[in-house]
A and B are shown apart, each in its own frame.
Chain A
């Protein structure tokens, strides 16, 4: 299914799942808890407070060779916005992509997504662990803090 068919499908409107695509275009769904939603919003607020010149989008869709994926939070600079606006899905990943880990996420899956976001143009990929601990990655590997938003807290619990 095309992404537009997926987002227009009435059966997929009110499900408590995060919706993405697999490499074959099938609908991919993973459960989203209320904790997930709360922390997702908290990350977006703190990110906008610590980094000027852009805006956060929750569950922004990004085109990748493994299907459309949706980082839980992205930070999009105004220049990325000037290039792509609200393109759905985004042909280029916004500068910062944040993925929240849930018990059902495997390490291999998160590693794949991290690579896909970097390949799609992200400058930083952040992970938020189930205990609120943040982990920051640059294309070269793990970093102590975000390079773009060094003030961002190391934990959002």
Chain B
């Protein structure tokens, strides 16, 4: 299914799942807990506060060779938004892409998504564990702190 068919499908409107695509265009759904929603909102708030020159996006869609994927939170600057905000899915990834991990995510899956976001143009990929612990990655590998947003806490509530 095309992404436009998926987002327009009435049966998929009110499900408590995050919706993405696999490489074949099938719908991929993963459960979203309330804790997941809390962490996602907190990250979006902190990104907007610490980097007011851009905006936070929740569950934006990004086209990748493995289907459309959706970072839980992303941050994009004004230039990215001016160029891309009317496009769904984005054909390039926002500068910062964040995945909030849930117990059902496997390490291999997160590793794949991290690579896909970098390949699509992200400069940093962050992960947030269920305990609020953050991990930061650049295309060169893991880093202690975010380079783009040095004030971002290492643990969030």
Binding site for B on A (CB under 8 A): 1, 11, 15-17, 22, 24-31, 104-106, 108-109
The total of chain B residues at the interface (CB under 8 A) is 20
Is the beta-carbon distance between A31 and B22 smaller than 8 angstroms?
A: no
Count contacts between A and B, CB distance < 8 Å.
53
Q: Which residues of B contact A108 (CB under 8 A)?
A: 23-24
Given contacts A106-B24, A109-B24, contact A27 B11 (CB under 8 A): no
- Report the minimal beta-carbon distance from A156 to chain B, rounded to whole angstroms: 24
Say whether chain B's binding surface is mostly helix, strand, loop, or mixed: loop
Question: What is the bound-complex CA distance between A16 and B1, given in angstroms?
Answer: 14
Question: What is the bound-complex CA distance between A109 and B15, given in angstroms?
Answer: 26
What per-residue 1/0 map shows which CB atoms of B1-30 lie under 8 Å from chain A? Answer: 100000000010001110000111111111
- The answer to whether B86 has its CB under 8 Å from any CB of chain A is no
Given contacts A24-B108, A25-B106, contact A11 B28 (CB under 8 A): no
Is the beta-carbon distance between B26 and A1 smaller than 8 angstroms?
A: no
Given contacts A11-B17, A16-B11, contact A24 B24 (CB under 8 A): no
Is the beta-carbon distance between B27 and A28 smaller than 8 angstroms?
A: yes
- Report the minimal beta-carbon distance from B27 to chain A, rounded to whole angstroms: 4
Name the residue on A nearest B9 (C-beta).
A31
Is the beta-carbon distance between B16 and A11 smaller than 8 angstroms?
A: yes
Question: What is the bound-complex CA distance between A11 and B17, given in angstroms?
Answer: 9
Q: Which residues of A contact B108 (CB under 8 A)?
A: 24
Is the beta-carbon distance between B16 and A29 smaller than 8 angstroms?
A: no
Question: What is the bound-complex CA distance between A26 and B124, given in angstroms?
Answer: 25
Q: Which of A11, A15, A24, A104 is in CB contact (< 8 Å) with B1?
A: A104
